[in-house]
Structure 1
Amino acid sequence: MEATELRLNNLLMYGDSIVPIMGVENNNESVLVKIDEDTAIDYRKLKPIALTVDWFSKLGFKEAYRSNSRIRFDLPNCCRYDFDLDSNKILEGFLFFGNYIKCNYLHQLQNIYFTLTGEELKIEHKSPKIQTTLS
């Protein structure tokens, strides 16, 4: 993950906690990210959050299609995201006008959504359990 990918309100992992980005500052040696009122840390201490079925549920997406090779989630009146269950992962990502935009992490999806809509992706405040596989 590069510092240039980070934007205010992105959610990332810091240790065992999910934290929001509240500010970003370049101090010539590193990029510091403010994660609460009193704490700014080096961005390299943050880890991206993998997109999972649990996260899509928290984001308001609904499962629209499931086969042996793909799971599709729709955000009503907005957009789609496909998980390609094949090893080549050709048909995976945020689906926009027939093209797949690769994003594997929550902050990437937040950024794409904001760029396309000008609005923040609504996420429940309760943290979902972190899941590494699709179910």
Structure 2
Amino acid sequence: MIEARELFVGAKVLAFKGMVCEVEEIRSKTVFFKEGATGVKFEDLNPIPLTEEWLLRAGFERNWEYTSVVYEKSCMQLEWNGYHWTDGNDGFIVGVKYVHQLQNLYYCLVGEELIFKA
């Protein structure tokens, strides 16, 4: 389940028995999607686990200079620590487990939406 405070227009989530949907509108307790679906309650939404496939679709590239799994895009670097993605820096660690969290973090750091290839 996704917390209401984590939702934003453009967030990618799982709805309708695992279908990937993009949030278009948020009302008091209901979310509507670009896919034209009827409203869904917050508690019926699930996050999309962040995987290498999603990072590649978002334009991240693997940096082979590191011994660990590191992907970079713009000013952002994500490192896989075996449990979740972190920003790869020693001073600032942020756990990113889901696609919508990556979208939110990217927007905060870069100031633009993260675009995914089909």
Give the TM-score normalised by structure 2: 0.85
Aligned to 1:42: 41
Q: In structure 2, what residue type is equivalent to 1:52? A: T
Aligned length: 114
The correspondence of residues 51-66 of structure 1 with structure 2, limited to 5 A, is 51-65=50-64
Q: In structure 2, what residue type is equivalent to 1:43? A: F
Confirm or deny that 1:103 pairs with 2:96. Answer: yes
Aligned to 2:30: 32
Aligned to 1:10: 11
Query: Aligned partners of 1:79, 1:9: CA distance in 2, in Å?
Result: 20
Deviation, 1:73, is 0.5
Contact 2:85–2:97 at 8 Å: present in 1 too? no
Identity of counterpart residues, as a percentage? 25
Query: Aligned partners of 1:55, 1:110: CA distance in 2, in Å?
Result: 11
The correspondence of residues 50-129 of structure 1 with structure 2, limited to 5 A, is 50-65=49-64, 67=67, 70-75=68-73, 77-85=74-82, 89=83, 92-95=85-88, 98-124=91-117, 126=118
Unmatched segments (≥5 aa) in structure 2: none
Query: Aligned partners of 1:95, 1:112: CA distance in 2, in Å?
Result: 14
Query: Aligned partners of 1:8, 1:116: CA distance in 2, in Å?
Result: 17
Alpha carbons of 1:23 and 1:95: their partners in 2 closer, same or farther (altered >3 Å)?
A: farther
Q: Higher strand fraction: Structure 1 or Structure 2?
A: 1
Alpha carbons of 1:96 and 1:122: their partners in 2 closer, same or farther (altered >3 Å)?
A: farther
Unmatched segments (≥5 aa) in structure 1: 127-135
